[in-house]
A and B are shown apart, each in its own frame.
Chain A
Amino acid sequence: MFSFTKEQKVFDISGIKIGGQPGTYPTVLIGGLFFKGEPDFDKAKSQLKKMYDLSRRIGNPSMPDFFVRKEEFIEDIVDFIEKSTPKNQPFSVDIIDPNLKIKILEALHEKKLLSRTVYNSIHVGTTDEERKTLKKFTPEAAIIVAFNPKDKSPDGKIEVLANGANLLDKGLLDITKEIGIKKVLVDTAAMAPGDNSGASISAIPVIKEEYGLPTGCAIHNVVEKSNWLDDFKDARKPVDAASNINIPLFGGDFAIFGPMHNSDLAFPMIAWEDILVSEYTESYFGVEPCDFHPRRKLF
């Protein structure tokens, strides 16, 4: 459990606080709605309700992460976001295809939802056209993925943030600044087992001390790719949720914890860890937990 010398930024993203010294704000939990095939909005609605209820009860802020795979689903998913998520809560959109990313930005702009949007994500594959569209339709915040295909160590991750690691004309942080996005969350890019998967966790304190920015990752992806766990079926879901504990333990601020239906395990586990961190950081560093911290809510 750590405290940082570098001043730590705290962002207010459409009503949720993220960042700061460990122990101040609880870990923000980002749950995915993947919509495999035709989106099932009734199921999504009940998963959202469960996640928001857990968030209110426990204290960890939550944010839905909407995956969009096909252009034909954009309109329906954006409509669903508009109608089914609270007006005072942020959400993120997670899209891989650069062309779809451009189209969703236009759709979010038309629905006046950009002030609640966390763009997931800006990375080494971000195209010039995407940058231009982001300048025109600028979301409230963005997740920057510090993936450096040349060097997956914490140094490689910093290099891609700082100068683009010779893969880009400049660093991802400068690109994001030029676009005009002021609220930046750094995702340390969890890699598959066997590909320096631990670096995404060890990079958290390095990046926070370097930049003071809210930092986290999708460490559960490493569990998903650990095929040997198929022989331990009962353990898979608890291990998946428990992997997220590494993030607050190493000073991180957010966990992209995977499918939203795993909220029932992820929220209490992370709240438990946040309480542990808070007790230590308050006693040794004088860091007081905020008023909605699980340590205040659950005692």
Chain B
Amino acid sequence: MILYRRKSKKEEFMKVSLRNEPYLIINIFFAGVIMLIIAYSGIFSPEKDNYPVICIHEKLTGIPCFSCGLSHSFSLIVRGEIKEAYEWNIYGMRVFLFFVSQLILRFAFSLFYIRYADTRKHLIITDSVGSGIIFFIAFWPFICSIAKGIF
């Protein structure tokens, strides 16, 4: 038998258990991953050129791909050198903005999720659709390159 009891907003806020809220776990995890990406961009510098990620596409074909120079671009954006960042990879800024927007959205949606328990289902749908659209806008050139490669 399931018993429901109306709780005050404050009580609900306090009693949100992470274990029973997969949405919050996912949000926290992604926020952590994005912060790691930003930290990676900050730690590895374009001057030293000590990036551990190697382009598999370039290794296989010998030709640089659309995403080559993305790490350099991120590092330069973090350091405020926007013009140079565009020179390394023209799509670097839009991908970086995607990650930054996702970081903000993870915190914002988590807060809304805890505060407004009645609208959780709508919130998850809005988040999924919105993030999907932002993803497609940010990664559209890469998606197009895949489509061109196949067809």
A binds B: no
Residues of A within 8 A of B (CB): none
